[in-house]
């Protein structure tokens, strides 16, 4: 019997209620999830948590999502990153894709769409 490990998702958003609620929803779906609330916390968590997928808000105080994305890709280029952009900031999503993001979703987030995108990103990372 082949044992498959749990998907690991790191949620990074300064909107703490959103980030913690999303992490809880993921855990209910049998996904190992952790939430952090700043770019600095994300970069600290990546080497310890080793996520497969990161859900990353682009608009955070301090370190921008693009800065976090480029640093994460240096730490581990195989982590798939899904960007969360504000309505009307499609350009940021495109720049993020050029920096190696898996995709982006415009806020407010449709949780079904986000869950599908997380699964697609995980499948890509696992070579499915």
- Predicted pLDDT of residue 14: 95
In a domain, 48, yes or no: yes
Q: Which domain holds residue 118?
A: 8-125
In a domain, 56, yes or no: yes
* pLDDT on residue 25: 94
Q: How many domains does the chain have?
A: 1
Question: Quick one: pLDDT band at residue 1, thresholds 50, 70, 90?
Answer: very low
pLDDT tens digit sequence for 26-76: 999 999 999 999 999 999 999 999 999 999 999 899 999 999 999 999 999
Residues 6+ apart with CB under 8 A from 88: none
pLDDT of residue 88: 60
* 1 in a structural domain: no
Provide CB contacts within 8 A for 113, sequence distance 6+: 105
Asked, for residue 2, whether it belongs to a domain, the answer is: no
Q: Is residue 43 part of a domain?
A: yes
CATH number, residue 32: 3.40.50.2300
Looking at the domain assignment, is residue 49 inside a domain? yes
Q: What is the pLDDT of residues 10-24, one digit of tens each?
A: 999 999 999 999 999
Q: Which residue has the higher pLDDT, 90 or 101?
A: 101
Q: How confident is the model at residue 103 (pLDDT cuts 50, 70, 90)?
A: very high
């Amino acid at each position: 019997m082949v044992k498959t490990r749990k998907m690991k998702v790191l949620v990074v958003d300064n909107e703490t209620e959103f980030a913690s609620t999303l992490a809880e929803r993921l855990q209910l779906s049998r996904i190992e999830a952790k939430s952090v609330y700043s770019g600095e916390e994300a970069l600290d968590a990546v080497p310890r948590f080793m996520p497969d997928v990161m859900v990353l808000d682009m608009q955070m105080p301090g370190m921008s999502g693009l800065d976090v994305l480029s640093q994460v890709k240096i730490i581990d280029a195989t982590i798939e990153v899904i960007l969360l952009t504000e309505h009307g900031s499609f350009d940021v999503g495109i720049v993020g894709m050029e920096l190696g993001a898996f995709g982006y979703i415009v806020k407010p987030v449709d949780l079904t769409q986000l869950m599908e995108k997380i699964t697609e990103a995980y499948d890509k990372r696992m070579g499915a």
